Amino acid sequence: MKARQIFVPLAAVAIFLLLWEALVWVMGWPNYKMASPSDLIPAYEKYWNLLLVMGWQTLWRTIVGLVLAVVFGTALGMVMGFSRTMRDALYPLLVGFNAVPKATVVPIVALMFVGWHDFNTVLIAFIISFFPIAVSVSIGLSTLEPEYRDILRSLGASQSTIFWKIALPKTLPEFFGALKVSVTLAFIGTNLMEIVSPHGRGLGALFDSGKTNSDYPLMFAVLIALAFLGIVLYYIVVALEKIFAGWADRTV
């Protein structure tokens, strides 16, 4: 990784924090109305152990939900990509379900599986991050040029060979593009359930606790922690993309 790729994002983050600090100072907002970056340092010092424990709770549930979304989303995308009938049948259902606000789904799931907090949280993370992956894989496979199939079939290639040699590599750029979106969506799903569930744990529950106690520095400390986890997971996906689909990068 080049030095520019490290220092430019860090400089952007530093500028954002300085502008945030300046806005709070200019507006004269007290920390019970709007916390500033300088208010977050005491919050991290006070709650660091709790943030680590709750952060791990949020992280592992998000990763599990995301992995399930990758597995099932890829499988469903393959079915729709290779079968026009299945694509026509399933697309309206997927689009309709994705159009439903997930904030209305979360309380329903929480009531359906009362006491199963880990399952509830993973399920919501899966539901929210599932759609982009399934659609991207489906589009990637359905737009495969028929000339490639014809050439390989004339050479005696099986359907599995066509998939592994042509279809799968062609789909990888779309897949990783959707996975980058799904990473952030999975965190949204996890935190929605952690906030809504009466037995919630994780950073979402910690945020809700800060809201209940009007502890704005804690609330913003949780938000920054969530952003940090999302950035880390995002760049892990970027690293995997460079390994498996780096050939598709046309950046000069």
| Three-class SS of the chain | CCHHHHHHHHHHHHHHHHHHHHHHHHHCCCCCCCCCHHHHHHHHHHHHHHHHHHHHHHHHHHHHHHHHHHHHHHHHHHHHHHCHHHHHHHHHHHHHHHHCCHHHHHHHHHHHCCCCHHHHHHHHHHHHHHHHHHHHHHHHHHCCCHHHHHHHHHCCCCHHHHHHHHHHHHHHHHHHHHHHHHHHHHHHHHHHHHHHCCCCCCHHHHHHHHHHCCCHHHHHHHHHHHHHHHHHHHHHHHHHHHHHHHHHCCCC
- pLDDT tens sequence across 195-234: 887 666 888 888 888 888 888 888 888 999 998 999 999 9
Q: pTM for the whole thing?
A: 0.84
Give percent of the chain with pLDDT exceeding 70: 89
